[in-house]
């Protein structure tokens, strides 16, 4: 049965939120977790290199590192290690973007169905939502760990629509990274893109977004996003 609320001012629209870099600025914590993991193998991770993996799931990032740096330890062990470090950092401090919080609250007040769809583990998703208080409004989440393929494949977004009981065409995705924007397009969903790396706004992957905040979170406002949804 559909959870879509036709009495909402936004009609049948449902909203799917990416988490990292979109709702919260968790990238510094992911960078530090990755830096600590790679340091054990004598590899120095720079922020510039870290930016290449923004929007890529943790598991896929670690697979890339295994190949790139000849790391032979099992993927499951690496994943547990990085997630453990990340959770320690995330629980200590994760910054939620104020305009995003305002937007989430506005949608909640309107009765708009919402879900988080992220490349992070479910444990990380729930830890961040609880730590920031967003769990009061965002009660559903799906991790890329629960589907066959992470972004840029559409699996996690299609699963999000299935769990909400809505059609993909009725979903609007909020994303900060190119892989997620591509995944939204492949899923047949509209997309509001807020590039975490503002200089990437001209990348071809962002061209499919229905609304692009070229300046990233510095430019994003809840009102502008809501007005766009109201007009679509």
Q: Which helix (H) or strand (E) segment is 36 a member of?
A: helix 27-39
Residue 20 is given by DSSP the state B
18 among known catalytic residues: yes
Catalytic pick from 18, 20, 145, 176? 18
Contact (CB, 8 A) for 164 and 140 = yes
Contact residues for 24 (Cβ-Cβ < 8 A; gap 6+): 94, 95, 96, 97, 100, 128, 132, 134
The owner of tokens 């965002």 is 138
* 171 three-state secondary structure: strand
CA 31 to CA 54: how far, in whole Å? 10
Contact residues for 46 (Cβ-Cβ < 8 A; gap 6+): none
Q: Would you name the residues annotated as active-site residues?
A: 18
């Amino acid at each position: 049965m559909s959870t879509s609320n036709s009495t909402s001012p936004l009609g049948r629209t449902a909203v799917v939120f990416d988490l990292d870099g979109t709702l919260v600025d968790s990238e510094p914590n992911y960078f530090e977790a990755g830096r600590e993991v790679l340091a054990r193998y004598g590899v120095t991770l720079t922020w510039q290199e870290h930016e290449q993996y923004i929007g890529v799931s943790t598991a896929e990032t670690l697979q890339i590192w295994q190949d790139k740096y000849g790391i032979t330890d099992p993927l499951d062990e690496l994943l547990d290690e990085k997630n453990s470090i990340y959770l320690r950092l995330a629980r200590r401090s994760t910054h939620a973007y104020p305009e995003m919080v305002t937007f989430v609250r506005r949608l909640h007040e309107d009765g708009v169905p919402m879900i988080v769809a992220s490349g992070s583990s479910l444990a990380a998703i729930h830890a961040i939502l609880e730590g920031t208080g967003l769990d009061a409004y965002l009660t559903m989440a799906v991790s890329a760990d629960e589907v066959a393929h992470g972004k840029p494949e559409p699996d996690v977004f299609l699963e999000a629509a299935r769990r909400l009981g809505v059609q993909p065409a009725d979903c609007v995705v909020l994303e900060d990274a190119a892989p997620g924007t591509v995944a939204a397009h492949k899923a047949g969903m509209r997309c509001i893109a807020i590039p975490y790396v503002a200089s990437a706004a001209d990348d071809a992957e962002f061209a499919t977004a229905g609304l692009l905040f070229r300046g990233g979170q510095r430019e994003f406002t809840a009102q502008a996003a809501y007005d766009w949804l109201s007009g679509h």
